[in-house]
């Protein structure tokens, strides 16, 4: 039987986090995050932001697992969930659904992040009935050499007990005096060390980060996603996860996560500002060029679904298919959307919005 390579200790670790580098990094990360929170609040319809950014996060997070999809595949899978689509895009869509489920549960439970929520997200992500690992045999290997780098707890009872402690730490009302961003970094590390599920631990641990930010009020809605930063610094991420276990290097780990928050907040701020600006420009243009068509619901539709279709307009506006088709054709004629003819499955792309996602992803890399 595999022998665990790390003796997981309860949080918080007995380490002094009041060091100059951490205090500086905390100030920077908290400032960037507060700016993002403020800007996100200026978007008129918050659910648009949640939907569009969750899909972008799903794409970035799944890339760490080598599930790579193009924006086009992604939006098409979202548009025609019943269609053949690529397997990767479907898995990405499941990640997005798991994230939204976690956020819904957070709101329903007045801010709790429970193990039952984590298990429900796992079941949705992996389309699986199971829960925490029951059988031994899990070990993390170096992708290139195949050598075992880390053996998490093997015993099912120990996993349940460690996850019980973690659930308690996450939801404790009286904090331990640490800044919530430091706690987020500790929680992510602990979750990855326990490695409670047979699969999907990386992705679920990344969702846990944003849920925790929403739980602690650092964000009102889940819009800050660290996955792109983690993919771009994957080797450092793995090395530092491991260095905590080997050398108790908590400070370096926390600094890495704070840097991820500061950097990612900046990129997300640009995206949110871009969306806000585009919505306001499109609104003015629609009112001027297609005043009879303009409605806030139509505008929201074009931004909630960067690729839209007649059915979505029917649903969102409560109009007939014929009217929805006429609206979309007029929008295409005036250049608000690009019409893609695909037989009975015509669809319409908000090309400027899609370009914005690409731009921010590129300038961020
Ligand atoms: N020493 C380590 N080396 C690599 N990953 C580690 C290590 N320790 C913990 N991990 C975590 O394990 C995760 C991978 O676990 P798992 O394969 O269950 O998750 P996944 O979501 O399917 O994968 P991925 O994170 O690659 O998307 C990594 O993302 C990382 O957070």
Would residue 278 count as lying in a domain? Answer: no
Q: Identify the pLDDT of residue 52.
A: 85
Q: Identify the pLDDT of residue 123.
A: 98
Contact 110, 208 (CB under 8 A): no
Distance CA 186, CA 191 (A): 9
Distance CA 244, CA 189 (A): 9
State which residues of the chain have pLDDT below 70: 361-365
Q: Are residues 220 and 300 in the same domain?
A: no
Q: What would the pLDDT profile of 278-323 be if each residue is shown by its tens digit?
A: 999 999 999 999 999 999 999 999 999 999 999 999 999 999 999 9
What is the 3 state secondary structure string of 120-173? HHHHHHHCCCCCCCCCCCCCEECCCCCCEEECCCCCHHHHHHHHHHHHHHHHCC
Q: Give residues (CB < 6 A) around ligand 1.
A: 64-65, 140, 149-150, 192, 199-203, 205, 238, 241-242
CA 259–ligand 1 middle distance (angstroms): 20
Would residue 198 count as lying in a domain? Answer: yes
Contact 282, 53 (CB under 8 A): no
Distance CA 48, CA 28 (A): 28
Which CATH number is 46's domain given? 1.10.3290.10
SS3 349: strand
Distance CA 286, CA 280 (A): 10
Q: Are residues 147 and 189 in the same domain?
A: yes
Q: Identify the pLDDT of residue 361.
A: 63
- Sequence-separated (6 or more) residues with CB below 8 Å from residue 245: 5, 6, 150, 193
Phi and psi for 257 in degrees, rounded to 5?
A: -70, -35
- Complex ipTM: 0.93
Strands 347-349 and 307-308: antiparallel
Q: Identify the pLDDT of residue 200.
A: 95
Crossing angle of helices 201-215 and 46-64, in 10° steps, is 150
Q: Are residues 186 and 318 in the same domain?
A: no
This model's pTM is above 0.90: yes
Would residue 279 count as lying in a domain? Answer: no
Active site residues: 195
Q: Identify the pLDDT of residue 365.
A: 53
Phi and psi for 149 in degrees, rounded to 5?
A: -105, -25
Contact 307, 293 (CB under 8 A): no
CA 223–ligand 1 middle distance (angstroms): 22
Q: Are residues 56 and 154 in the same domain?
A: yes
Would residue 135 count as lying in a domain? Answer: yes
Domain count for the chain: 2
Would residue 3 count as lying in a domain? Answer: no
Q: Are residues 248 and 312 in the same domain?
A: no
Q: Identify the pLDDT of residue 364.
A: 57
Q: Identify the pLDDT of residue 112.
A: 98
Would residue 92 count as lying in a domain? Answer: yes
CA 192–ligand 1 middle distance (angstroms): 7
Q: Are residues 180 and 310 in the same domain?
A: no
Contact 13, 166 (CB under 8 A): no
Q: In the chain, at which residue ranges do the beta strands (DSSP E only) sit? A: 140-141, 148-150, 307-308, 338-340, 347-349
Q: Are residues 140 and 97 in the same domain?
A: yes
Would residue 2 count as lying in a domain? Answer: no
Range of the domain at 38: 20-269
Contact 262, 181 (CB under 8 A): no
Q: Which of 92, 141, 147, 202 for a ligand 1 pocket mutation test, highest count of atoms within 8 Å of Cβ?
A: 202
| Binding-site residue set for ATP | 65, 195, 199-206, 237-238
Crossing angle of helices 46-64 and 87-108, in 10° steps, is 130
Sign of CA dihedral 202, 205, 211, 213: negative
Q: Are residues 108 and 165 in the same domain?
A: yes
* E strand or H helix at 254: helix 250-289
């Amino acid at each position: 039987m595999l022998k665990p390579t790390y003796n997981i200790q309860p949080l918080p670790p007995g380490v002094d986090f009041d060091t100059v580098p951490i205090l500086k990094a905390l100030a920077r990360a908290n400032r960037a995050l507060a700016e993002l929170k403020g800007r996100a609040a200026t978007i008129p319809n918050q659910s648009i932001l949640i939907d569009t950014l969750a899909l972008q996060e799903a794409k970035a997070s799944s890339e760490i697992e080598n599930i790579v999809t193009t924006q086009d595949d992604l939006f098409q899978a979202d548009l025609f969930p019943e269609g053949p689509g690529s397997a990767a895009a479907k898995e990405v869509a499941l990640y997005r659904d798991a994230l939204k489920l976690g956020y819904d549960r957070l709101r329903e439970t007045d801010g709790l992040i429970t193990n039952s929520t984590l298990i429900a997200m796992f079941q949705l992500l992996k389309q699986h009935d199971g829960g925490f690992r029951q059988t031994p045999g899990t070990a993390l290997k170096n992708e290139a050499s195949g050598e075992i780098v880390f053996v998490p707890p093997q015993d099912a009872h120990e996993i349940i007990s460690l996850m019980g402690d973690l659930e308690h730490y996450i939801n404790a009302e009286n904090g331990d005096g640490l800044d919530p961003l430091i706690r987020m970094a500790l929680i992510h590390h602990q979750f990855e060390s326990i490695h409670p599920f047979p699969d999907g631990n990386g992705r679920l641990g990344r969702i846990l980060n944003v849920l925790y930010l929403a739980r602690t009020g650092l964000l009102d809605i889940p819009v800050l996603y660290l996955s792109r930063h983690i993919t771009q610094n994957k080797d450092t991420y793995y090395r530092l996860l491991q260095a905590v276990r080997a050398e108790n290097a908590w400070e370096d780990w926390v600094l890495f996560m704070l840097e991820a928050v500061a950097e990612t907040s900046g990129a997300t701020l640009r995206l949110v500002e871009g969306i806000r600006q585009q919505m306001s420009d499109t609104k003015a243009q629609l009112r001027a060029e297609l005043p009879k068509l303009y409605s806030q619901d139509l505008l929201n539709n074009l931004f909630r679904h960067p690729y839209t279709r007649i059915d979505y307009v029917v649903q969102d506006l409560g109009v007939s298919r014929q009217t929805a088709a006429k609206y979309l054709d007029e929008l295409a004629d005036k250049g608000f959307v690009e019409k893609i003819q695909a037989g009975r499955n015509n669809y319409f792309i908000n090309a400027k919005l899609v370009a914005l996602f690409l731009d921010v992803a590129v300038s961020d890399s």
